[in-house]
Structure 1
Amino acid sequence: MKESIATLKRIGLTMYEAQAYVTLTSLISSTASEIAQKAGIPRSKIYDVLKGLITKNYIDVEDGRPLTYSVRSPVEVLGREKNRINSQLDDAITRLTYIYENGMSQVQAPIWRIYGVEKIINQEVEIIALAKSSVNMRIGFLFEGEGEALLKAFKKRRGLKVNILASPTCYINEEEVNILKLFEDSDVNIQKADVPFVKVLISDSKEMMHTYTKFSEDKRNVIPETAIGIWNKYEVIARNYDERFMNQLNKLQKKNKK
């Protein structure tokens, strides 16, 4: 009950309104005095509390002596609130992304260094989320959890054209990972290529990210604490890399058709 009350408070109800609604979900229909008693709400406050819940369409009231208050289904009420909150978040994302992208475009030297595996993966996911038409990647290695994060990001962007040139395998924590197999059931075009120790992500021919890391002496495992991402928003550079990527991809596809 405490968790439900806390959740209702977070989405806009007062403490007393949350207590009254949660109590009425078990009573289904009841009088103000019984609701006040069961919910621990002062009788002097209960009518204002119930009036607030009626205004917010959480409960209904039926005429009579005394008045009878009936709860509305949590599926209806909370489903409506969930849609409202999601809509507000979507609007906020749209507005803030517009401000963010305008701000980024005015930075004189649009190159940033990103340290740490988690931050690098998060930046890759963000670039994919903001891509408008295409994402091209060279994958010669993966960090722990990165493959799953990329797959999840691609799944959210149905319709985005994704091409990957990848080494067949890499090693994560001494275990061999089949990169081609990892992506084979996803909606991406992945081709086997010779790209050892390299990772590049290019979005819309406008921005790109190189990821560098040191490897163990046997050149199998990455050393995560050495990872650095170079995020580059120089369009000329990104476009040149993208053209080279597409030339290599087209050659591999023609070769594989023979």
Structure 2
Amino acid sequence: MKESVSVLKGIGLTMYEAEAYVTMTSLISSTATEIAEKSGIPRSKIYNVLKGLSKKNFIEIEDGRPQTYHVKSPVEVLSREKDRISTEIDDTITRLTNVYENGMSQVQAPIWRIYGVEKIISQEVEIINRARTSINMRIGFLFEGEGEALVKAFKNRPSLKVNILASPTCYINGYEVNIINMFKDEEINIQKADIPFVKVLISDSKEMMHTYTKFSEDKRNVLPETAIGIWNKYEDVARNYDERFMNQLKKMKKKGKKKS
């Protein structure tokens, strides 16, 4: 019961309203007196509580002496509330993202250092989610869980044009990982390339992120505690890197056609 009450409070019911609704799901139809007794809600408050539940469309009130209160199906009520909250969250994301991006554009020196693998991966995914037309990447290595997170982000944005230049393989926790196969998808243009131990993500020629890390002595495994991301929103810099990326990609495609 406590878990259900907590969830109902989270979607906007008061403590008493949540307790009354949970109690009514077992009573189905009952009087205010019965609901107060079963739920432990004071009788002096039960009528206002039930009136509140009725206004929020969680129950129906049948006139009579005494009045009868009928609970609405949890599937009906909670599905409705889930849709409402989802819509409100989507609208809030849109509004706050516009505010955030406008604020970012006002920052005079838009370069940030990001420390830690989880934060770096999270920032990469955020950049992908924010991109409007294209993502270009150079991948010389991957952190644990990073490849899966990037693939998932790309799948959630099927309209993006994604180009990747990547080393054939890298090592994660001592195991060899095929980077090309990991990103192989109809919607992703991935080309094998000689990429040094660095990673670059460029979005819409407007923002980019370099990621660096130290490696073990045998140059196989990354040392995640040394990871650092440099997030850059200087458009001139991002555009310059993007142009160089596309020139390299075009040259590689020409070479591939000549060989075939």
Relative to the length of structure 2, the TM-score reads 0.95
Tell me by how many angstroms 1:186 deviates: 6.6
The equivalent of 1:248 in structure 2 is: 248
Q: Which runs of 5+ in 1 are unaligned?
A: none
Aligned mates of 2:58, 2:216 — CA distance in 1 = 60
Aligned mates of 1:135, 1:23 — CA distance in 2 = 52
What secondary structure does 1:214 align onto?
coil
Say yes or no: does 1:41 pair with 2:11. no
Aligned mates of 1:249, 1:60 — CA distance in 2 = 65
Aligned pairs for 1:77-226 (under 5 A) are 77-185=77-185, 187-226=187-226
State the percentage of identical aligned residues.
79
Tell me by how many angstroms 1:217 deviates: 1.0
Aligned mates of 1:198, 1:211 — CA distance in 2 = 6
Say yes or no: does 1:21 pair with 2:21. yes
Tell me by how many angstroms 1:63 deviates: 2.3
Tell me by how many angstroms 1:247 deviates: 1.7
Say what the alpha-carbon RMSD is for the aligned residues.
Answer: 1.4
Relative to the length of structure 1, the TM-score reads 0.95
Residue deviations 1:36-68, cap 9 Å, x none?
Answer: 111111122111111110000000112233222
Aligned mates of 1:256, 1:57 — CA distance in 2 = 64
Say yes or no: does 1:54 pair with 2:51. no
What secondary structure does 1:12 align onto?
coil
Aligned mates of 1:225, 1:69 — CA distance in 2 = 60
Residue deviations 1:207-255, cap 9 Å, x none?
Answer: 1111111111111111111111111111111111111111222232343
Aligned mates of 1:184, 1:213 — CA distance in 2 = 25
Report the more deviating stretch, 228-237 or 137-146.
228-237
Aligned mates of 1:143, 1:26 — CA distance in 2 = 50
Residue deviations 1:139-181, cap 9 Å, x none?
Answer: 1100011111111211221211111111111001111111111
Would the aligned equivalents of 1:155 and 1:186 in 2 still touch at CA under 8 Å? no
What secondary structure does 1:222 align onto?
coil
Q: Which runs of 5+ in 2 are unaligned?
A: none
Say yes or no: does 1:228 pair with 2:228. yes
Aligned mates of 2:208, 2:58 — CA distance in 1 = 49
Would the aligned equivalents of 1:120 and 1:229 in 2 still touch at CA under 8 Å? yes
The 1:145/1:32 distance shift into structure 2, 3 A limit, reads: same
What secondary structure does 1:85 align onto?
helix
Number of residue pairs the alignment of both structures matches:
258
